[in-house]
Amino acid sequence: MEEYQVIVVGAGPAGSACAKALKDEGKEVLLIEKDKLPRYKTCSGVLMGQCQILLEKYFGSLPPEDIYCQPKVIAASSIEEWNKEKGFFPYIWEISKDNQTFKEDYLNIWRDKFDYWLLRESGVEYRDNYTFRSYSMERNKVKLEVTVNDKETKSLYCSYLVGADGGNSRVRMALDPGWSTESLEVSVYQAYHRFSDMGSLKEDHWYVFFESQFCDCLSCIHHKDEFLTLCVGGFKGRSLKESMEAFKKFLAENFRVMLKDKERDEGCVMRLSMPNLGNGQVVLTGEAAGIIYLNGEGISAALDSGFRAGNAISRAIKEDRDVIEIYEQASRDIVDHVKKCSENAHFFTDEAMEKLAALAPGQ
């Protein structure tokens, strides 16, 4: 029987931060990831001010130079929204937390390299191509069923299971089956295009659009090395590949952006809901816990909640206490900030907001 004190599912910032906190306390940890590492991930790949502070705090440094892409710095003042009436104007993607403001020089990184660096910095044992399928309780242990390399099925055991597997978390789905119907599902599609001309757009800017013809939530474009990264998002039922084509046409017609061949594309599903930090011996963190900051920024929230989840488990083992109670107490400020971010969010188009209001209870 293969057993660990803790098994963490997901090799993103939440999983690596959680695993590092546990490893630092001498706990036996295994991290599993469904994809072959390093792996691509749908993300802007921008480290905001709070994220940089948390990296210094929990990992001891910012990433090495090979993690960054050009332009390396995107200033907060260079993030702009556009609409027909006003043209370009500032778009806010980070607000103060606990009265602490953050530096406004954001760092442009390759997310696959960044996640792999975090994982290696954590120092934990990990296995890729391990897909979490389900869990059950067996003699006060958590029994995981996983598929290895999409072929072999095997069982793993642990005292604590951590779901750090993102916005469509299988661990959370197993813990809380109603989550799939009670949460708001948003799909995101991202493409990397070589280009011959950025037209009237500036290479060190990050542009945001809320045009209902190609999105239900924000669409954006920014520069990463030889590519322009384009992103569109929408509710279930919207064809995001058609939306991407409409976005590209919009950029060409309005800003003279000339795209060339597509290097790759990727997508993901986010389920927006109230935070859930887990139950019993199953702990949730990062997007799996519904912890996400302003307008979808998830890396800061993942690092902070992940590390605190690991510390909570270490304390629960040492003090023989309920882990969720410890974790909730230690994360009140994070949950409060999630609420503050939700109240200040500008993430959906006006048309999408009208649809959501019509679906609200009591309407």
pLDDT for position 359: 63
**Which residues on adjacent β-strands are paired with residue 266?**
190
Q: Across residues 179-183, what is the average pLDDT?
A: 88
Q: Which of 147, 138, 123 is nearest to 3 (CA)?
A: 138
pLDDT-based confidence at 94, cuts 50/70/90?
very high
Q: Kindly give, in sequence order, each residue whose CB lies less than 8 Å from that of residue 98, ignoring residues fewer than 6 positions away.
A: 333, 337
pLDDT for position 358: 77
pLDDT at 6 exceeding the cut of 50: yes
Residues 35-77 pLDDT 10s: 999 999 999 999 999 999 999 999 999 999 999 999 999 999 9
Q: Kindly give, in sequence order, each residue whose CB lies less than 8 Å from that of residue 130, ignoring residues fewer than 6 positions away.
A: 32, 33, 34, 146, 147, 148
CA distance 3 to 142: 9
| Long-range contacts (CB closer than 8 Å, 24 or more residues apart) made by 196-201 | 196/258, 196/259, 196/260, 197/256, 197/257, 197/258, 198/223, 198/228, 198/255, 198/257, 199/251, 199/252, 199/255, 199/256, 199/257, 199/258, 200/255, 200/256, 201/251, 201/255, 201/257
Backbone angles phi, psi at 186, to 5 degrees: -125, 130
In the block, which residue shows the tokens 């200033």? 75
pLDDT for position 355: 82
Q: Across residues 231-249, what is the average pLDDT?
A: 96
pLDDT at 257 exceeding the cut of 60: yes
DSSP strand pairing (125-128 vs 29-33): parallel
CA distance 71 to 80: 16
CA distances from 354 to 218, 238, 349 (A): 15, 16, 9
Tell me the percentage of the chain whose pLDDT exceeds 90: 95
pLDDT for position 1: 85
Residues 277-311 pLDDT 10s: 999 999 999 999 999 999 999 999 999 999 999 99
* CA-based max dimension of the chain: 64
pLDDT for position 362: 45
Residues 305-332 pLDDT 10s: 999 999 999 999 999 999 999 999 999 9
Residues 126-174 pLDDT 10s: 999 999 999 999 999 999 999 999 999 999 999 999 999 999 999 999 9
CA distance 60 to 123: 13
pLDDT for position 363: 39
Q: How many CB atoms lie within 10 A of CB 317?
A: 17
Query: For the chain, first and last CA: distance in Å?
Result: 53
Q: Which of 261, 238, 341, 298 is nearest to 43 (CA)?
A: 298
Q: ∠ at Cα 168 (302, 48), nearest 5°? A: 30
Q: Across residues 191-197, what is the average pLDDT?
A: 98
Residues 103-134 pLDDT 10s: 999 999 999 999 999 999 999 999 999 999 99
CA distance 324 to 248: 46
pLDDT for position 360: 57
- Domains, the chain, ranges and CATH? 3-84+98-181+272-343 (3.50.50.60), 184-270 (3.30.9.10)
**Which residues on adjacent β-strands are paired with residue 161?**
7, 282
Answer yes or no: are the C-beta atoms of 18 and 310 closer than 8 Å. yes
pLDDT for position 357: 82
The residue count for the chain: 363
Tell me the percentage of the chain whose pLDDT exceeds 70: 99
